[in-house]
Amino acid sequence: MGHPTTLQRLVMMFALVAALMSAASIGLAQQASAASAGPSSPDTTARPQIFMRVHGATSASPATGGNLSYHGGTGGVGVETGADKVYLVYWGSQWNNNDPSGEAAIQQNFFSHVGGSSWNNSVTQYCQGVASGTFFCGTSGTHATNPSGVLAGVWYDNASAAPSSPRQSALAGEAVRAAAHFGNTSASSNTQVQYVINTATGNNSRGFKTQYCAWHSSTSSTYGNVAYTNMPYITDAGASCGAGFVNSPGTTDGITIVGGHEFGETESDIFPNGGWLDSGGAENGDKCAWISSGQGASANVSLNGATFPVQSLWSNAFNGNAGGCVLSY
């Protein structure tokens, strides 16, 4: 076979270029598809998230998994000790004049009253500074605390829009920005703190109301480990996340049921999964979620003179140390 002509060489060159451009186009399309699809829940490569499952997602008995045990802490920190603080962040301009259920006011009222309540006192039986696998602290270790006045600050970070469906990395980044905003810029200042990152109605992260109601996690930063909660706009989920679970019609019941769940869990496992969990990985809130009757059923509870619907929390000490779900301690 002879050497190709100039025309043949040009045809071959154009064919090669077209093939390369087609391959690149396919590769970019695949990358775009993967990025837009994302995981069904937030980023799975980040730190553990502890999910509050939607109502009806599990039929497990509260006793499943047994009592909670200590898991060694993260950098020695497993529970919130001392002056616990909650910072509420309303993220994005989507909040501007857009809170149809009045969630911000209900949430702030709840956190203004929950500290020091008998409902929250069960967390004080859990501690850090003891061996992994410990079930009962007694007088050992440093115990979680239940101080009054836990609401330490509110920030409407609303100068620009938040992502319409934020992933875990974005929520973690907002928590770190909140730490800077509130002046918690040392590792020690964040060992007793949780940041609740609230997304506006219709702007919640993937998986909300079909898989979970909220979740909490932590992230590393130049300010140390930072504990935060992904708190969607709860009434967007209706009955899946607590509407009508205690009261009728109870449209806003879920705001404090879910909020209390995440609050109590962060106090007893501030940087998951170094705190107190059962053998199946459930925390004190998970084990008592969506109980509608009998011991530990969700109810309206007085918290320092104001009444809110809440779920119960797991107590290892209940029933002669057999454990159970309690509304007071």
Residue 304 scores a pLDDT above 60:
yes
Range of the domain at 193: 47-326
Instruction: Evaluate whether residue 31 is within a structural domain.
Output: no
Task: State the pLDDT at residue 33.
Answer: 31
Q: What is the mean pLDDT of residues 180-202?
A: 98
- The pTM score is 0.86
- Tell me what percent of the residues of the chain surpass a pLDDT of 90: 83
Residue 12 lies in a domain: no
The pLDDT value given to residue 298:
98
Tell me if 36 is assigned to some domain: no
**22 within some domain:** no
Number of separate domains in the chain: 1
pLDDT classification of 61: cutoffs 50, 70, 90: confident
pLDDT at 7: 46
Whether 103 is covered by a domain: the verdict is yes
248-262 burial, b for 16+ CB within 10 Å, e for fewer?
Answer: eebbbbbbbbbbbbb
User: How does pLDDT run across 265-282, given as a tens digit for each residue?
Assistant: 999 999 999 999 999 999
Report if residue 147 sits inside a domain.
yes
pLDDT of 36 reads 28
Query: What one-letter code names the amino acid at 290?
Result: W
Q: Is residue 33 part of a domain?
A: no
- Mean pLDDT across 37-66: 73
Residue 91 contacts residue 34 (beta carbons within 8 Å): no
Is 158 within the bounds of a domain?
A: yes
In percent, how much of the chain has pLDDT > 70?
85
DSSP 290: T
End-to-end C-alpha distance for the chain, whole angstroms: 93
Which pLDDT value is given to residue 179? 98
Token pair of 104, please?
A: 């911000």
Q: Which of 26-40, 73-87, 130-144, 211-225 has the lowest average pLDDT?
A: 26-40
**Is residue 43 predicted with pLDDT exceeding 90?**
no
Reduce the DSSP state of residue 35 to 3 states and report it.
helix
